[in-house]
Amino acid sequence: MEQLITAVRESLMSSGLECDIVGLTDGRWFYILENPGASKNAFDWRADDPSVGGPFGSEEAAMKGLMRKHQNPGGYNSYEITVEEAIADPILKKNLEKALGRDLEFPPLPDAPVEIGAILYGSYQIRTPHGSILRFSGNEDGSAMVKCTESFSQSAKVLGTGGISARRDAAGIVVAIQGDLPDEVLPALKEIASARGGQVYPGEMMVIQKLLPPEDDLSPEM
């Protein structure tokens, strides 16, 4: 009886280890659990021989798979990305391939255009060479929004907003930016798209159109 109580108590205790539950948009899910012997000063715990598992059919299944083999981490970070994004992250790619037991293959080019604006621009903020701030956020349809402000302050003056659509198919990627953004930020927007596109979709042709005028319904709250 005492042994049973000890086993239950240990199963309920948290290991305190870092844990990622990663879903690929093709339906495969994986877990990545920090190595207990990893250095706490490591730049990226995922690079220090973590435990991995998968593929599973859902986020819940991935977590159950982890719990069957490892102690409860006490919490985890869950996110879903495309296979192309996973391949562009060398550490993540290595861990997923470790779980699969084979290479993570680049999917075929889409026949019909697919929206990847949110993949190119993400959800973060940067300062432009002119001192203005660009804040990006993704939309549910895969496109992105950008807001240009004078500073990082939440109350900073808004200099312009815009919507970003990046359509990818077998012919390449076409990026369209529409809004009332200052002309000076266009080079920064082009640089971000080119850098991220080259990382996630290496070798694919990209065309970035000139800044288009805004539409009435272009600027939802960000």
Compute the mean pLDDT over every residue in the chain, rounded to the nearest whole number. 89
Whether pLDDT at 49 is above 50: yes
- 160 with 178: CB under 8 angstroms? no
**What is the distance between the alpha carbons of residues 83 and 105, in angstroms, rounded to a whole number?**
8
Half-sphere exposure of residue 19: CA atoms within 13 angstroms, side-chain side: 22
For residue 191, tell me if it sits in a domain: yes
pLDDT at 198: 95
- Do the bridges between strand 77-81 and strand 19-24 make them parallel or antiparallel, or are there none, so unpaired? parallel
Percent of the chain with pLDDT over 90: 76
Residues 118 and 203 in one domain: yes
Using pLDDT thresholds of 50, 70 and 90, give the confidence band for residue 103: very high
pLDDT at 220: 40
- Do the bridges between strand 29-33 and strand 19-24 make them parallel or antiparallel, or are there none, so unpaired? antiparallel
Residues 86 and 123 in one domain: no
- 139 with 118: CB under 8 angstroms? yes
Residue 118: burial class (beta carbons within 10 Å; 0-12, 13-18, 19+): buried
**What is the distance between the alpha carbons of residues 149 and 21, in angstroms, rounded to a whole number?**
34
pLDDT digit string, tens, across residues 7-39: 333 444 566 899 999 999 999 999 999 999 877
Q: Say how many domains are in the chain.
A: 2
Strands annotated E in the chain: 19-24, 29-33, 51-56, 77-81, 114-115, 125-127, 133-138, 144-149, 158-169, 172-179, 206-208
For residue 216, tell me if it sits in a domain: no
Q: Which tokens is 35 given?
A: 């190595």
Domain boundary among 100, 128, 146: 100
Interval 128-136 mean pLDDT: 95
pLDDT at 15: 67
Query: Terminus-to-terminus CA distance in the chain, angstroms?
Result: 56
Residue 39, strand partner residues? none
For residue 218, tell me if it sits in a domain: no
Interval 97-117 mean pLDDT: 95
- 131 with 159: CB under 8 angstroms? no
pLDDT at 13: 52
pLDDT digit string, tens, across residues 201-212: 999 999 998 888
Domain boundary among 43, 77, 100: 100
**What is the distance between the alpha carbons of residues 76 and 72, in angstroms, rounded to a whole number?**
10
Using pLDDT thresholds of 50, 70 and 90, give the confidence band for residue 44: confident
pLDDT digit string, tens, across residues 134-157: 999 999 999 999 999 999 998 999
For the ranges 18-27, 68-77, 124-133, which has the lowest average pLDDT? 68-77
pLDDT at 73: 86
For residue 22, tell me if it sits in a domain: yes
Residues 120 and 75 in one domain: no
Interval 52-70 mean pLDDT: 96
Residues 39 and 128 in one domain: no
pLDDT at 214: 77
Domain boundary among 100, 125, 153: 100
Q: 61 φ, ψ to 5°? A: -65, -35
Residues 76 and 125 in one domain: no
Interval 90-100 mean pLDDT: 97
> For the chain, how big is the Rg over CA atoms in Å?
21
Residues 48 and 124 in one domain: no
pLDDT at 131: 94
For residue 219, tell me if it sits in a domain: no
Domain that holds residue 82: 2-100
